[in-house]
């Protein structure tokens, strides 16, 4: 793997582990739809200017196929975040995070990770959608998809913002950044190498949220081994 690609993956891993820790710290009482709508709404506004500059600089123009890829990615990520938040409501970060990242083929969250990694990688590498624009477009899709649920919970959203505004703002900024870095890496490298390298975020997650017992630590090792046996060594679109 080229060093610039590895650098993108490692930077993404640090950011990814950080926003996952903050998400867990929100607590089990947070309504999922309210949280996801707030995060995606904030992200779509904050990254809109960067997306506009990127479109102007690259002269990229969408067509029906690329819009379909963006919409599909947005919906896949909605499912992934719901699954991840549900796991954090019932489990410790030191268990949920490495299981979701490391034992991909064994869990619904892992299936979602595999699907969006391949889908998004194809979109930015083969279809040529600029990574930042691709993710921002997905955020807009997520805002629209979540609005019917979230807007029925205005009191919950106001309470969440009053109590956790800095964590919510931090997650809204870091979550897109961590994945945009991966999309940039996918433009330059092989998904069969980048996907396993992303699992270094497990180590950063372990450092930021040490396990309280031996079980989660064993999970990390088993997860990495299971994931390594599943991942393809070569990619058709690389």
pLDDT at 83: 78
pLDDT at 98: 56
pLDDT of residue 193: 78
- pLDDT, residue 8, reads 93
The pLDDT value given to residue 207: 53
Q: How far apart are CA 145 and CA 139, in angstroms?
A: 10
pLDDT for the residue numbered 105: 40
Q: What is the pTM of this model?
A: 0.78
> Which segments in the chain show pLDDT lower than 50?
93, 103-106, 211-238
Q: Look at residue 31 in the predicted model and tell me its pLDDT.
A: 74
Q: How buried is residue 103: exposed, middle or buried, by Cβ count under 10 Å (0-12/13-18/19+)?
A: buried
What Å distances lie between residue 47 and 10, 15, 40, 76, 143, CA to CA? 22, 17, 10, 20, 13
- What are the residues whose beta carbons fall under 8 Å from the beta carbon of 154, sequence distance 6 or more? none
């Amino acid at each position: 793997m080229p060093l610039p690609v590895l650098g993108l993956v490692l930077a993404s891993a640090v950011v990814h582990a950080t926003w996952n820790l903050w998400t867990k710290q929100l607590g089990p009482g947070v309504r999922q739809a309210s949280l996801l709508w707030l995060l995606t709404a904030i992200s779509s506004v904050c990254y809109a200017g960067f997306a506009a500059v990127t479109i102007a600089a690259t002269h990229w123009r969408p067509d029906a196929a690329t819009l379909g890829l963006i919409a599909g990615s947005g919906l896949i990520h909605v499912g992934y975040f719901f699954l991840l938040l549900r796991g954090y409501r019932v489990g410790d970060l030191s268990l949920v995070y490495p299981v979701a990242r490391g034992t991909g083929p064994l869990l619904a969250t892992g299936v979602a990770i595999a699907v969006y990694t391949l889908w998004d990688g194809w979109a930015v590498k083969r279809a040529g959608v600029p990574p930042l624009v691709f993710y921002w477009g997905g955020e807009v899709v997520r805002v629209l998809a979540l609005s019917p649920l979230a807007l029925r919970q205005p009191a919950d959203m106001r309470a969440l913002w009053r109590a956790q505004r800095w964590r919510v703002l931090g997650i809204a900024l870091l979550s897109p950044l961590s994945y945009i870095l991966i999309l940039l890496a996918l433009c330059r490298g092989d998904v069969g190498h980048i996907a396993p390298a992303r699992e270094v975020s497990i180590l950063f997650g372990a450092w930021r949220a040490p396990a309280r017992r031996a079980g989660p630590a064993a999970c990390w090792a088993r997860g990495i081994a299971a994931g390594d046996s599943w991942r393809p060594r070569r990619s058709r679109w690389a």
